[in-house]
Amino acid sequence: MKLLITEKPSVAMEFAKALKINMNRKDGYIESDGWIITWCVGHLVTMSYPEVYDEKLKFWRLDTLPFIPTEWKYEIIPNVQKQFNIVQRLLQREDVEEIYNAGDSGREGEYIQRLVYMMAKPNPKAQIKRVWIDSQTEEEIKRGIREAKNQSEYDSLSSMLEAFYNGEVDSIIINESSRSQILDMESYADFDNNTRVVYQTSYKVENTDKANAVSDITSKPFNVLISGSDTRGGFDENGRSDVIMVATINPKTSTILLTSIPRDFYVTTACDAADGCMQGASDKITHTGIHGTNTTKRTVEQLLGIEINYTFKVGFDAVTELVDAVGGVDVTVAPGYAVNNFNALSGFSVHEGVNHLNGEQALAFARERYAYTEGDRQRTKNQQLVLMGIVDKITSPSIVQNYSSIMDAMSNTFSTTMSSSEISDLIKYQINNNPKWKMEQYMVDGTGDTLMCAELGDAASVMVPDQSTVKMAKDKINAVLAGKSADDVK
């Protein structure tokens, strides 16, 4: 038996006529030998009002706003409860093998039907298909039924792109933060050249990233999440994080531990309700940046079992400006890791030993992975080397004395939850005490696999964590916080 659900009774009648179904009208639906046709009457399901969560929220007050639930609640609209019960009973019938979603071809039409399926819990053995039609002519309705696709085909970014490239749809709507994900897919590497933007809009989201400040930043140890943003529009837009690093700083011992997490690390996503992430879903950690720095921070805290005090987010292009502002950086290339030509910067090479890099070269060095057999692992190590070079330069007396002009030049290239007074205190501490910082490094590791990624809605190449390295990272971070050396943790 095939079940078809439309948005309105009048549309159901048009489908019945086009399919030549005997009008055996029953209470809330039509049934023939092979077909059942039923309908919504507009919205059957709605989001619950605030007072359902807490009676105190029935009346709006400034001290209770904004209200953002940790888990959204839905309910059946009372005056259409009868029709929902009919649709639910039909969806759960054991003899229904195919369910055709014939809701209106638009965002609201899809939303109406998806909420019904979510609340009604259809027969799990039935296959759900989506009918897309441009009009209600007999020919168009028959085509829509004949060419109906499995509804799951439109649940992932890759399936949407495939439909777009195959001409099944004329246009698609994407979040700009998804562009880097698209360009990472081999089949759509030329997406920017093959498409054009016909309309765009922007919206603001709440910045949930707040500092968990220490009482005295010049004497108390703390953790800083460093996120390298891959957005095209600038560091202040949410986008994939290609650099994820925790800097553990202990001013008393003058120790800085850099703990890197490869961008493909397969993690369980964590966030606050306002971030809008897929809480508890499995994904590459790079995708957490799409929902903001706070989501990346919460996920790293959960992964490593640590507390992050501050965040520092920088756009890739800012690396070039920062390195040039401090007069370049020195990186030491280990034996066997010389590169004659970088894919990220044609004609650029590094030799074994100390290399002095300008901004453009430092960025290329930090982004390169194809020139190394270890790929992303070596890129992560290179990122640490560049950051160590930057730290070495900005803590030198000549640069520290001129910090105000450098900060002015870099003011629009990064964001941090560290307050200006805390930054000033650190700089004064460096000038007055001139500590010689000891730099330590570590990187979590894992094995390659292809697994489902929540943000893509599809499988992708990931790095499955080696939990022993995750535990080692936590132990090393805690050692530095306790005034010890990470290098002593084996």
Backbone φ/ψ region at 280: left (φ over 0), alpha (ψ -120 to 50), beta: left
Residue entry with tokens 């499955």: 464
Q: Out of 39-48, 203-212, 297-306, 368-377, which region has the weakest mean confidence (pLDDT)? A: 203-212
Are 331 and 338 in contact by the 8 Å Cβ rule? The answer is: no
HSE of 431, CA atoms in CB hemisphere, 13 A: 13
DSSP lists the bridge partners of residue 223 as 248
Question: What are the CA-CA distances from residue 285 to residues 74, 268, 274, 280 (Å)?
Answer: 30, 8, 19, 12
Which pLDDT score is estimated for 470? 96
Q: Give the pLDDT band of residue 173 (cuts 50, 70, 90).
A: confident
Closest CA to 256 of 9, 469, 464, 426: 426
Backbone φ/ψ region at 116: left (φ over 0), alpha (ψ -120 to 50), beta: alpha
Please give the backbone phi and psi of residue 46, each rounded to the nearest 5 degrees, phi first: -140, 165
Rounded CA-CA distance 15/101 in Å is: 12
Taking residues 459-481, report their average pLDDT: 94
Closest CA to 306 of 381, 241, 391, 247: 247
What is the CA 466 to chain-centroid distance, rounded? 22
Cite the DSSP H helix spans in 199-315: 293-304
Q: Give the pLDDT band of residue 409 (cuts 50, 70, 90).
A: low
Helix (H, G, I), strand (E, B) or coil at 225: strand
Which pLDDT score is estimated for 310? 96
HSE of 21, CA atoms in CB hemisphere, 13 A: 26
Q: Out of 94-108, 191-205, 290-304, 402-416, which region has the weakest mean confidence (pLDDT)? A: 402-416
Which pLDDT score is estimated for 233? 47
Cis before 66? omega within 30 = yes
Which pLDDT score is estimated for 479? 97
Residue entry with tokens 């992975």: 369
What is the token pair recorded at 156? 């992932």
Closest CA to 41 of 103, 130, 92: 103
Q: Averaging pLDDT over each range in 45-49, 95-99, 433-437, which range is the top one?
A: 95-99
Rounded CA-CA distance 371/363 in Å is: 15
Rounded CA-CA distance 452/146 in Å is: 30
Are 309 and 212 in contact by the 8 Å Cβ rule? The answer is: yes
Cis before 9? omega within 30 = no
Which pLDDT score is estimated for 238? 58
Taking residues 238-245, report their average pLDDT: 78
Closest CA to 399 of 472, 307, 308, 322: 322
87-124: pLDDT as tens digits: 999 999 999 999 999 998 877 888 899 999 999 999 99
Helical packing angle, 376-394 and 359-367, nearest 10°: 150
Question: What are the CA-CA distances from residue 217 to residues 393, 420, 426 (Å)?
Answer: 21, 12, 7
What is the token pair recorded at 422? 């805390």
Are 347 and 340 in contact by the 8 Å Cβ rule? The answer is: no
Closest CA to 427 of 408, 400, 391: 400
